Amino acid sequence: MKDIKKIIYDGYEYIDGGVCAAKGFCANGLYSGIKENPSKKFDLCLVVSDELCNAAAVFTQNKVQAAPVTVSKAHLAATGGKAKAFILNSKNANACNTDGIEKSEKMCELAAQRLCVPAEQILIAQTGVIGQTMPIEPIEDNIDSLVYGLSYDGNEKAAIAIMTTDTVKKEVAVEFTLDGKICRVGGMGKGSGMICPNMATTLNVITTDCAVSSQMLKKALSDVVKVTYNCLYIDGDQSTNDTCAVMANGLAGNTIIDSENEDYKIFKQALYIVMSNITKMLAKDGEGATKLLECNVSGAKTEKDALAVAKSVIASDLFKCAMFGEDANVGRIACAIGYADAEFDITKFCVELSSSKGCIEFFREGAIVPFSEEKAAVMLSDDEIKINITLADGDAEATAWGCDLTYDYVKINGDYRT
């Protein structure tokens, strides 16, 4: 996204600020020493609202769920969907530890004591190595600095603190008008590996000053996740820690959204813009990636069928390798379309690939179309490739995002712990 210039998009403007763009949200990030880190990269952050928020979250579908997932679920249940702050750390996932719940609860308690609120109003997310004991001492030693350093401009520090193998921070925010009031939605995310469809969110925090009930937040988040983060594929491994939470403090002053009215649709679109942009950022920064891949499927009988085909193509390791090699081995696309769990007529599908360097049709009515290898090589040399598939069986459509599969992915994961 642009960092300085605002861009108008159908009544929404991209703005700076990430999780601090919305009124009443502050943040901070710092290096605490959770893991020995010679470069002293940030590994701990906190996002806080001036007012108690209505909140909602979605979590990993992995049966092995990390302690912070269990704790955040319990806190949301205990408060009836309320939250004041979100504490996060990188370097250690606090997963599969006998004292994991205790450590996650302790982190929430430390933050809550400094903020003078109940511990149940603190959400938590953690990321890093699975199966390593989480040290609580770095949190205890640095919690005062973390809280006292909170700033309404602290979004960048927070976004950096949740990075693991990420090469760039990921944050975006939009501004829009609702009920005559200026409202904002902003977010930050992290993730480069251990990402596959169905809660591929890794860690994501979304904030808004829009007044929205917890029930409507939950519905909007659930619906938008299905067509954004759940359509993201890097490597087929589903994390134990995936968490995406949205907090709404209502400071924009709009009439609270407590039903699926027109205001709800406007808010939901803002949420979609933020989450879809972060999804693309996550895909482009996949571990070792050199190309962002976007698969657009149209003409399906149902959205379920369109999603199945899009995910099938974006998840094909053979296709991902071909894109890394800039090889127009498009038979791999047809193969992935064919084994997708979807209903369609195989004699009708059409495929074209496009980038800023050209657009080439490869399949028409289920059969290969002659093409220039030279032009295909030029088109595939770009760092963003779109795969456009038409099934010609209906009106439903869907999009999935991913990246190429490279030598560096193996290198990164071959010595991840060190």
More confident residue, 130 or 21: 21
Residue 281 CA to residue 71 CA, distance in Å, equals 28
Q: Are 55 and 214 in contact, with CB atoms under 8 Å apart?
A: yes
pLDDT tens per residue, range 283-317: 777 666 788 899 999 999 999 999 999 999 988 98
Higher pLDDT pick, 415 / 46: 46
Number of Cα atoms under 13 Å in the Cβ half of residue 213: 12
φ/ψ of residue 334, rounded to 5? -60, -40
Which residues are within 8 A (CB) of 149 and not within 5 positions of it... i.e. 6 or more apart?
Answer: 28, 30
The β-bridge relationship of strands 350-355 and 292-300 is unpaired
- pLDDT of the residue at 1: 31
- Contact yes or no for 138/91 (Cβ under 8 A): no
Task: Give pLDDT, residue 3.
Answer: 35
User: Residue 66: enclosing H or E segment and its boundaries?
Assistant: none
Q: What integer pLDDT is reported at residue 65 of this predicted model?
A: 80
Residue 38 and residue 297: Cα distance in Å, rounded? 46
pLDDT at 195 over 70: no
Residues near 206 by beta carbon (within 8 Å), at least 6 away in sequence: 19, 185, 186, 187, 221, 244, 245, 246, 247, 271, 274, 275
Half-sphere exposure of 10 (CA within 13 A, CB side): 6
d(CA 53, CA 212) in angstroms, rounded, equals 9
Q: Is the Cβ–Cβ distance between 406 and 290 less than 8 Å?
A: yes
417 and 129 in contact (C-beta within 8 Å)?
yes
- The confidence band for 155, taking pLDDT boundaries of 50, 70 and 90, is very high
Mean pLDDT score, 176-197: 80
Which pLDDT band holds residue 190 (cuts at 50, 70, 90)? confident
- Higher-confidence residue of 127 and 358: namely 358
| Adjacent-strand bridge partners of 212 | 257
Residue 149 is encoded by which pair of tokens? 């350093």
Tell me the pLDDT band of 199, cut-offs 50, 70 and 90.
low
More confident residue, 1 or 12: 12
How confident is the model over 167-184, as a mean pLDDT? 93
Q: By mean pLDDT, which of 52-66, 225-239, 348-362 is the weakest? A: 225-239
Residue 198's pLDDT band (cuts 50, 70, 90): low
Counts of helices then strands in the chain (DSSP H, E): 11, 16
Compute the mean pLDDT over every residue in the chain, rounded to the nearest whole number.
89
Number of Cβ atoms within 10 Å of the Cβ of 318 = 13
Q: Which domains does the chain have, with CATH numbers?
A: 7-284 (3.60.70.12), 292-414 (3.10.20.340)
Confidence (pLDDT) at 40? 81
Q: Which residue has the higher pLDDT, 397 or 417?
A: 397
* pLDDT tens track for 63-121: 778 899 999 999 999 999 999 999 999 989 898 899 999 999 999 999 999 999 999 99
Cα–Cα distance measured from residue 186 to residue 47, given in angstroms and rounded to the nearest whole number: 12
**Separation of alpha carbons 397 and 161, rounded Å:** 36
The residue type found at 366 is G
The pLDDT of residue 235 is 54
What residue type is 295 in one-letter code? C
d(CA 377, CA 374): 5
pLDDT at 414: 66
Residue 407: pLDDT over 80: no
In this prediction, residue 2 carries a pLDDT of 32
What is the C-alpha separation between 277 and 199, in angstroms, rounded? 16
Query: Is it the case that residue 4 has pLDDT exceeding 50?
Result: no
pLDDT for residue 242: 82
Q: Residue 197: pLDDT above 90? A: no
- Token digits of residue 15: 């703005």
- Which one from 79, 165, 201, 399 is the annotated catalytic residue? 201
Q: Is residue 416 pLDDT above 90, yes or no? A: no
Whether 201 is a known active-site residue: answer: yes
Percent of the chain with pLDDT over 90: 69
